[in-house]
Amino acid sequence: MGPCTLKSILEAHDSELSSSSHPQARPGEPPVKMPFSKLQKNDAYFSRYQVKYKRRRQGKTDYYARKRLVTQAKNKYNAPKYRLVVRFTNKDIVAQIVHSEIGGDKVFMAAYAHELKPYGITHGLTNWSAAYATGLLLARRVLKKLELDEDFVGVEEADGEFSLTEAAEVDGEERRPFKVFLDVGLTRTSTGARVFGAMKGVSDGGVFVPHSENRFPGYDIEGKELDAETLRKYIFGGHVAEYMETLADDDEERYKSQFSGYIDDDIEADGLEELYQDAHKQIREDPWKKEESDNKKSKDEWKAESKKYRSTKLSKAEKEERVQKKIAELKA
């Protein structure tokens, strides 16, 4: 037997550990379970598991925020708590005033960016300026429905200044404005986000939306001050006009490709501000303006069209006669 060195002792100890801690299963037997390995998710775990709400599982609803937006003060009894719900799709903006009930949410009023076309806004329907115009359209619609459109005018000419809708005197009495709370959903509430453009439009339209100026484009974090000129520029599409001019100078081919719709309709960078100003004016005049199109069919035309494909009902005698004709054809 050789000398008993520290190295030989350690090697012998390691071999003992490896043989004892990793027992091999015999052929035909189930695998040997390791010691000290506890089964965490057993039958008891799954039988007591409570699934989250469906829309949480789908990642569609932030219930932490929803709880606070929906909960109404108990001293207001059954008064609905209205939310300004703003959502963006690839080609449209959805702005709705919603309140919750036991059976689900009820939409009180809605406006969409594609409804801006009759007012002259036919392109860039998802940008900041379109979001403002959609919010303005929603505000004027809801106030007209409540017959408060003449009492709460809001900001008639947008100047980019921070303002909140205040109480007005109606028939010799003080009347508080219609109040809604902004519901951003899962949108990132970064400074200058489009969702705040829609909120600004609703606020300027004469509806009271509690908010601060911190998230508008042009707000200086260090100076804690809002640059009204920058905000006004965004309201009237100034940022789009600047980009159009820059792109036209730097890369004309890309400009023609990216702004082909503007070029076809003879819309230039210089005319964007006037275009949005006219649209805001028209929205205030008539928030329910319909798009005039020669291609749309009248009610009588649709009736005549549907009759082409409508099969007439046969009587019993006619059905029997048709059967006899088919039998005769088969025999022939």
pLDDT digits (tens, 9 = 90+) for 98-140: 999 999 999 999 999 999 999 999 999 999 999 999 999 999 9
Q: Which two tokens stand for residue 292?
A: 């005039």
Strand order in the sheet with 83-88: 104-112, 93-101, 83-88, 181-183
Give the pLDDT of residue 315.
Answer: 94
Give the pLDDT of residue 153.
Answer: 93
Q: Is 36 a residue whose pLDDT tops 90?
A: no
What gap in Å lies between CA 121 and CA 101, rounded to an integer?
Answer: 35
For the chain, state the CA radius of gyration.
34
> Which residue bears the tokens 């042009």?
218
pLDDT tens digit sequence for 237-263: 999 999 999 999 999 999 999 999 999
pLDDT tens digit sequence for 146-185: 999 999 999 999 999 999 999 998 888 899 999 999 999 9
What gap in Å lies between CA 82 and CA 100, rounded to an integer?
Answer: 8
Higher pLDDT, 14 or 195: 195
pLDDT tens digit sequence for 202-212: 999 999 999 99
Q: In this structure, are residues 206 and 149 in contact, taking their beta carbons and an 8 Å threshold?
A: yes
Sequence spans of domains, the chain? 54-227+281-285, 299-331
Exposed / middle / buried, residue 262 (Cβ in 10 Å: 0-12, 13-18, 19+):
buried
Average pLDDT over residues 69-75: 94
Right CATH for 54-227+281-285 from 3.30.930.10, 3.30.420.100, 3.90.1150.10, 3.30.1390.10? 3.30.420.100
Q: Is residue 3 very low, low, confident or very high in pLDDT (cuts 50, 70, 90)? A: low
3-class DSSP assignment, residue 217: coil
Q: Which two tokens stand for residue 128?
A: 């900041």
- Chain-centroid distance of CA 284 in Å reads 24
Higher pLDDT, 53 or 40: 53
The answer to whether the pTM exceeds 0.95 is no
